[in-house]
Chains A and B, each alone.
Chain A
Amino acid sequence: EVQLVQSGAELKKPGESLKISCKGFGYRFTSYWIAWVRQMPGRGLEWMGIIYPHDSDAKYSPSFQGQVTISADKSIDTVYLQWTSLQASDTAMYYCARREVDWEPPELWGQGTLVTVSS
């Protein structure tokens, strides 16, 4: 089955680091871009950035540039979203989503990873 499977929920303290993952199954992983999308509690969706696992070419939305790092390990069909120092405002659901080309929207999404940052 073609799917994106994300890592499980995380409970972290402010200042801690975190890396969550998104693994692709059932398709040629390096042929699609993978995006990360944030949904804060009670809020809409926000595009964070996108990466092409084939060559790890990553592009960030200005609001998230320098705040997170998106990386990929194509040997295990996995993309990551990483923080070096979490803040309470990073509490959100994070989705990964697959996109084939620039002129089409993401058509396959992961199940989401809930990140809670609280002291």
Chain B
Amino acid sequence: EIVLTQSPGTLSLSPGERATLSCRASQSLSANYLAWYQHKPGRSPRLLIHGASRRATGIPDRFTGSGSGTDFTLTISRVEPEDIAVYFCHQYNNSPLTFGGGTTVEIK
């Protein structure tokens, strides 16, 4: 089973600051089958990024995914108050499919 380790656990930022979230896989992900989701309390998870770097439909360009192999990053270029959420990564190629533990983004 591929373990996804996310860091940091919590990120506290002021509006307009840059957020950098990390997701490290215990094995290399073939074809970069890595996705990022945003999960707000009481809401369904929202797909942000798939294929490590492709934005899902309707996702603002301040969200950028990058990385390959075992190391992946989600960057929010300028954090806004509406970005308060838990962000988790997901590998969807190797069975069993797995998720990272999540990074909580807080606004100062």
A contact set with B: CB distance below 8 Å: 37, 44-47, 59, 61-63, 95, 97, 99, 102-107, 109-112
Tell me whether B69 is interfacial, beta carbon within 8 Å. no
Q: List B80-108 residues whose CB lies under 8 Å from chain A.
A: 88, 90, 92-93, 95-102
CB of A95 within 8 A of CB of B93, answer no
Q: Once bound together, how far apart are the Cα atoms of A102 and B97, in whole Å?
A: 11
CB of B35 within 8 A of CB of A111, answer no
A62: B residues at CB distance < 8 A: 96
Tell me whether B63 is interfacial, beta carbon within 8 Å. no
Q: A95-B44, A95-B45, A103-B93 are in contact. Are A44 and B102 (CB under 8 A)?
A: yes
Q: Write 21 A-B pairs (CB below 8 A) sorted by A numbering.
A: A37-B99, A44-B99, A44-B101, A45-B45, A45-B99, A46-B99, A47-B98, A47-B99, A61-B96, A99-B92, A102-B92, A102-B93, A103-B31, A103-B33, A103-B93, A105-B47, A105-B90, A107-B50, A109-B44, A110-B44, A112-B44
B contact set with A: CB distance below 8 Å: 31, 33, 35, 43-47, 50, 56, 88, 90, 92-93, 95-102
Name the residue on A nearest B43 (C-beta).
A111
Interface of A is mostly: loop
Which of A95, A103, A110, A111 is the most central at the interface, judged by chain B CB atoms within 10 Å of its CB?
A103
Q: Once bound together, how far apart are the Cα atoms of A44 and B50, in whole Å?
A: 19
CB of B47 within 8 A of CB of A107, answer yes
Query: Min CB distance, A98 to chain B, in Å?
Result: 10
Q: A44-B102, A103-B31, A105-B50 are in contact. Are A111 and B44 (CB under 8 A)?
A: yes
